[in-house]
A and B are shown apart, each in its own frame.
Chain A
Amino acid sequence: MFGIAATRESQVTVEKQWAAFEAEAMPHATSLFRIALWLTRDQTEAEDLVQETLTEALASFHRFARGTNCRAWLVSIMYHRHSKRRKATTRLHLVSDAEERIAETIAFEAPTPQNVTDEEVLGALERLPPAFQEVVILADVEEMSYKEIAAAIDVPMGTVMSRISRGRRLLRSELASYARAHGFGQSGQQRLSRVSEESIREC
């Protein structure tokens, strides 16, 4: 009889745990998928990454501190999983002076263009170097704080702030170029050299 009571107790615990996970973590699946898609650029790989992330999160959910930001916790797990997958399949790494080189190529702060289409905004985002793109997505699309981003991608907060600032500046420059080429937007905008992804060398 004691055994039956213990079983019921265990069942109730599992049900409570699942209910909590379903309420706190599962609503972020869509957001995780979006981030995974940016990271992997492939639908199937993104699905795999989301599944791995949530599977790991479920296994560790009893250690998640309730009341803290669940999405930031999930994103940090996702970045860790993605980093492991990438390490296993490639030897690419970022060259340390890439950010400085990119910053130097922007001559001045262009006024933010208006009347650009959604497609052009997304196109400009896609053309950003990955290191800048990821922080802009996490900050402006997923609305994570600098602190949460720093924890998720495991870089110092100062670096996050610097990347976000430069990433946004590149994005505006890109859109300003587009607006000028199509004869709309604000006058006096100067065509700025877009930094291609080649500036981040792959070794």
Chain B
Amino acid sequence: MQCREFREIADSYLGNELIVETNHEVISHLEHCAECRRELAARRELRCQLREASIKAPGNQMSAEFGQRLSARLHEQAFGRSVTPLSRRGWHPSVTLRRTSWIALAACLTLAATFGLVALRQWILRPSPQQGGQEVANSETPNYPAQLNPGVPVTIVKTELAKDAAGDHRDCAVHFRLAEKPIDLEVAGRKYDPVYVNLTKAVVSGQGEVPLGAEFVEAHSCVFQGRRFAHIILRYHGRLVSFLVTEIGDSNAAKTNAALASKGAQVIECSQFDGYQVSCFQTARHAVFIVSDLPEGENLALARAVAPSVFAHITRSENPA
């Protein structure tokens, strides 16, 4: 090894980034080259000085006050969202419901004593107007209920599309590790699918009525497992929520959804993949997914909140005439 070569790789040697064979060559060179030994020592010293000076520099110190504030806030975030996650919004959190389940039981017994078990059972199991696997977003549904509507069944579906949506949320919104770089949503709209154009408005503003506390993070178009999605990311109480729209090619599904679309109904289906909640509804040619690690009821509530405006927007784009 020549001195010039040594100087090229001396820093990598100090950082222990060289392969074993090259390390041996470096050591062998150092054994008989005093000038390179001095150079190596000087670089090592400079490196130590740089690190220590940077760490000790008064301007680089994090204030104790900020450290305490940060810790307190994160602690609050960790416990606030899981123990009493929804109390600020005046909802009935599921934890509280579970905690007071004995009260509910007592109430049921009282009712049973008053009206009779049979009558009560019939009343509870009475089919709701929307029952039968279809759930229609309507004005009676609050924009942002915490709990599932009682009496409305949720169809559990497992489709490859929903898996892809959960995967895209994980790899794009959470870990930022998609192989292909996302592109601007409006550009993608002009290039790939006109439905993407102004989709953000339908989700975030206008008739979308994004629930209080949801903050817009980003909108783009990305590709997961070869499938292109419009991807709108919101942050809700510190959790990332993905709204994903993709074109579907299933002709049977298209027929079904066209029929539903004519009735103005949105069937919202819920499933769970890889720890993420996925709520989905479809139009004639597109599937819309709402993916997050929120509880199922909250994820579904978000889907309900945006379904009318997103459904209307996509349907308009699918049928421009």
Chain A positions within 8 Å of B, measured between CB atoms, are 1-4, 6-7, 10-11, 13-14, 17-18, 21, 26, 29-30, 33-34, 37, 47, 50-51, 54-56, 58-60, 62-63, 76, 80, 84, 109, 111-114, 116, 118-119, 121-122, 125, 136-137, 139-141, 143, 145-146, 154, 161, 164-165, 168, 171-172, 175
User: Is B25 on the interface with A (CB-CB < 8 A)?
Assistant: no
CB distance from B147 to the nearest CB of A (A): 15
Known A-B contacts: A18-B79, A146-B17. Give 12 more (CB < 8 A): A3-B99, A10-B82, A26-B71, A29-B70, A30-B62, A50-B62, A51-B70, A55-B74, A59-B77, A59-B240, A63-B170, A161-B12
Q: Are B52 and A118 in contact (CB under 8 A)?
A: yes
Contact of B238 among A55, A118, A119, A165 (CB under 8 A): A55
Q: Are A114 and B42 in contact (CB under 8 A)?
A: yes
- Name the residue among A3, A10, A136, A145 with the largest chain B CB count within 10 angstroms: A3
Query: In the assembly, what is the distance between CA of A145 and CA of B16, in Å?
Result: 9
Q: Are B7 and A59 in contact (CB under 8 A)?
A: no
Q: Are B53 and A121 in contact (CB under 8 A)?
A: yes
Q: Are A140 and B47 in contact (CB under 8 A)?
A: yes
Q: Are A58 and B238 in contact (CB under 8 A)?
A: yes
- Nearest B residue (CB) for A14: B82
CB distance from A5 to the nearest CB of B (A): 9
User: Is B51 on the interface with A (CB-CB < 8 A)?
Assistant: yes
Q: Are B99 and A7 in contact (CB under 8 A)?
A: yes
- Please indicate the chain A residues that have their CB under 8 angstroms from the CB of B240 in the complex: 56, 59-60
User: Is B73 on the interface with A (CB-CB < 8 A)?
Assistant: yes
User: Is B100 on the interface with A (CB-CB < 8 A)?
Assistant: yes
Q: Are B239 and A112 in contact (CB under 8 A)?
A: no
Query: In the assembly, what is the distance between CA of A113 and CA of B42, in Å?
Result: 7
B: number of interface residues (CB 8 Å): 55
- Nearest B residue (CB) for A30: B62
CB distance from A185 to the nearest CB of B (A): 10
- Nearest A residue (CB) for B16: A145
User: Is B179 on the interface with A (CB-CB < 8 A)?
Assistant: no
Interface string of B62-103 (1 = CB under 8 A from A): 100011001101110111001100000000000101111110
- Please indicate the chain A residues that have their CB under 8 angstroms from the CB of B53 in the complex: 118-119, 121-122
- Name the residue among B15, B46, B53, B57 with the largest chain A CB count within 10 angstroms: B46
- Please indicate the chain B residues that have their CB under 8 angstroms from the CB of A171 in the complex: 46, 50
- Please indicate the chain B residues that have their CB under 8 angstroms from the CB of A141 in the complex: 50-51, 54-55
- Please indicate the chain A residues that have their CB under 8 angstroms from the CB of B47 in the complex: 140
- Nearest A residue (CB) for B49: A121
- Please indicate the chain B residues that have their CB under 8 angstroms from the CB of A119 in the complex: 53
Query: In the assembly, what is the distance between CA of A199 and CA of B78, in Å?
Result: 45
Contact of A51 among B11, B12, B73, B97 (CB under 8 A): B73
- Nearest B residue (CB) for A146: B17
Q: Are A60 and B11 in contact (CB under 8 A)?
A: no
Q: Are B54 and A137 in contact (CB under 8 A)?
A: yes
CB distance from B116 to the nearest CB of A (A): 26
- Nearest A residue (CB) for B40: A112
- Nearest B residue (CB) for A147: B17
- Please indicate the chain B residues that have their CB under 8 angstroms from the CB of A118 in the complex: 49, 52-53, 56-57
Query: In the assembly, what is the distance between CA of A55 and CA of B70, in Å?
Result: 9
Contact of A3 among B55, B59, B97 (CB under 8 A): B97
Query: In the assembly, what is the distance between CA of A140 and CA of B15, in Å?
Result: 8
Query: In the assembly, what is the distance between CA of A47 and CA of B46, in Å?
Result: 29
- Please indicate the chain A residues that have their CB under 8 angstroms from the CB of B192 in the complex: none
- Please indicate the chain A residues that have their CB under 8 angstroms from the CB of B97 in the complex: 3
User: Is B201 on the interface with A (CB-CB < 8 A)?
Assistant: no
Given contacts A10-B95, A141-B55, contact A59 B238 (CB under 8 A): yes
Given contacts A7-B98, A33-B62, A141-B51, contact A54 B79 (CB under 8 A): no
- Please indicate the chain B residues that have their CB under 8 angstroms from the CB of A146 in the complex: 15, 17
- Nearest A residue (CB) for B176: A80
Query: In the assembly, what is the distance between CA of A143 and CA of B79, in Å?
Result: 33
Q: Are B60 and A34 in contact (CB under 8 A)?
A: yes
Q: Are B54 and A125 in contact (CB under 8 A)?
A: yes
Given contacts A3-B98, A21-B74, contact A14 B218 (CB under 8 A): no
CB distance from B237 to the nearest CB of A (A): 9
- Nearest B residue (CB) for A47: B66
User: Is B8 on the interface with A (CB-CB < 8 A)?
Assistant: yes
- Please indicate the chain B residues that have their CB under 8 angstroms from the CB of A114 in the complex: 42, 45
